[in-house]
């Protein structure tokens, strides 16, 4: 579901090459305005609201002809920064690193209100608390953020992160790698966690957001670029009005939303999609007044955490990294 920070670091370096190719789409009165939205990964239930908005005609009602694409060789941040895609799916950590490199992407909505990712292991591994990571093998993407996150959790429980064998396994299947290569990995509860239940596999799962408030950040988010916000705010407003309706519909009708996603991505496991959609329907908005709302404190705490753990050399101005201005209903 997720391209991690190591990929993002190389992506921002390529931004300058792409940005030179950026150009505005010509407006044609009386016709739908063409818009490209790039996903972060292959289609999954994080993206359902986009497909619902398209399938139910919300984008068309807003005067938009939306094409949803997968990022291919580049990342969503690259494509959106260069306006090759006007909107995309990213993560708070990616936006933070991008802005440190002066890549002008801005988060315009939190897809899920709280972080639903964490470290999971098959129950037979006997990993109950983060201290139990000592002497175990962790499989991940090779990002320094992963080790820092493990350290934060283990410090809290008196563990030593230097006693963890950290392996770079990439996007390998969690269940296959757990059988022989690794003891635990970083998963999304709403996808791999649900898949484990369907397979009848018991997991020990340690929720990042519940263990450390700073790690309860926004993942994923929807992004656009500063140029669209400054020079084409009507486009951003139209897109967000329709997209919000899509996610609100997915919240109210998870079964219908799951089927819409399956119609657009028939390669997905129907049982997994339907169960995941049911789970996420309570997570999209959660305790927020409106879907998509972002708190400055969430952005600030995670930026401070990255800086305090020496993962970034300076802090971003978080008020410029996100905005709630285009949500159809601002939270009170």
Residues 138 and 187 in one domain: yes
Residues 151 and 71 in one domain: no
| Predicted pLDDT at 34 | 97
Instruction: Report the candidate in 11, 19, 12, 17 with the shortest Cα–Cα distance to residue 83.
Output: 19
Q: pLDDT digit string (tens) for 136-189?
A: 999 998 888 899 999 999 999 999 999 999 999 987 899 999 998 999 999 999
In a domain, 66, yes or no: yes
Question: 317 pLDDT exceeds 70?
Answer: yes
Q: How much of the chain exceeds pLDDT 90, in percent? A: 83
Residues 229 and 196 in one domain: no
Residues 252 and 197 in one domain: no
Contact 329, 290 (CB under 8 A): yes
Q: Which has more confidence, 142 or 319?
A: 319
Question: 38 pLDDT exceeds 50?
Answer: yes
| Predicted pLDDT at 46 | 96
Residues 273 and 235 in one domain: yes
Question: 71 pLDDT exceeds 80?
Answer: yes
In a domain, 15, yes or no: no
Residues 250 and 262 in one domain: yes
Residue where a domain terminates, one of 193, 215, 237:
215
Residue where a domain terminates, one of 187, 215, 243:
215
Question: 23 pLDDT exceeds 60?
Answer: no
Q: Of 28-37, 90-99, 263-272, 310-319, where does mean pLDDT reach its minimum?
A: 28-37
What radius of gyration, in Å, describes the C-alpha atoms of the chain? 20
The H or E element spanning position 53 is: helix 48-55
| Predicted pLDDT at 28 | 54
Helix (H, G, I), strand (E, B) or coil at 183: coil
Could you tell me the residue range of the domain that residue 175 belongs to? Answer: 117-215
What domain count does the chain have? Answer: 2
Residue where a domain terminates, one of 183, 215, 247:
215
Instruction: Report the candidate in 44, 37, 66, 48 with the shortest Cα–Cα distance to residue 257.
Output: 48
In a domain, 3, yes or no: no
| Predicted pLDDT at 29 | 55
In a domain, 139, yes or no: yes
In a domain, 231, yes or no: yes
Helix (H, G, I), strand (E, B) or coil at 239: helix
Question: What's the CATH code of the domain at 184?
Answer: 3.40.190.10
| Predicted pLDDT at 11 | 41
Contact 298, 268 (CB under 8 A): no
Residues 291 and 163 in one domain: no
């Amino acid at each position: 579901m997720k391209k991690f920070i190591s990929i993002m670091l190389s992506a921002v370096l390529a931004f300058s090459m792409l940005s030179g190719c950026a150009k505005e789409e010509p407006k044609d009165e009386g016709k739908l305005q063409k818009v490209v939205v790039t996903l972060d990964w292959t289609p999954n239930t994080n993206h359902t609201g986009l497909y619902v908005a398209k399938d139910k005609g919300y984008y068309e009602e807003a005067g938009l002809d939306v094409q949803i694409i997968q990022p291919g060789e580049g990342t969503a941040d690259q494509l959106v920064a260069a306006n090759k895609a006007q909107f995309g799916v990213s993560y708070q950590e990616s936006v933070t690193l991008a802005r440190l490199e002066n890549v002008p992407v801005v988060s315009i909505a939190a897809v899920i209100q709280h972080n639903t990712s964490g470290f999971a292991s098959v129950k037979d591994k006997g990993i109950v608390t983060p201290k139990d990571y000592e002497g175990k093998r962790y499989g991940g993407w090779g990002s320094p953020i992963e080790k820092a996150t493990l350290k934060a959790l283990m410090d809290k429980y008196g563990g030593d992160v230097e006693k963890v064998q950290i392996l770079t396994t990439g996007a390998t299947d969690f269940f296959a790698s757990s059988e022989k290569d690794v003891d635990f990995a970083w998963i999304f509860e709403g996808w791999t966690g649900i898949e484990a239940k369907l397979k009848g596999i018991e997991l020990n799962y340690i929720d990042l957001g519940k263990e450390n408030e700073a790690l309860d950040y926004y993942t994923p988010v929807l992004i656009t670029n500063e140029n669209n916000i400054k020079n084409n705010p009507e486009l951003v407003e139209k897109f967000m009005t329709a997209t919000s309706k899509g996610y609100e519909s997915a919240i109210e009708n998870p079964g219908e939303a799951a089927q819409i996603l399956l119609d657009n991505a028939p390669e997905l496991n129907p049982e997994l999609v339907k169960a995941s959609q049911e789970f996420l329907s309570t997570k999209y908005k959660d305790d927020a007044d409106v879907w998509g709302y972002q708190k400055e404190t969430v952005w600030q705490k995670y930026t401070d955490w990255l800086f305090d753990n020496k993962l970034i050399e300076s802090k971003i101005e978080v008020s410029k990294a996100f905005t709630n201005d285009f949500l159809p209903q601002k939270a009170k």
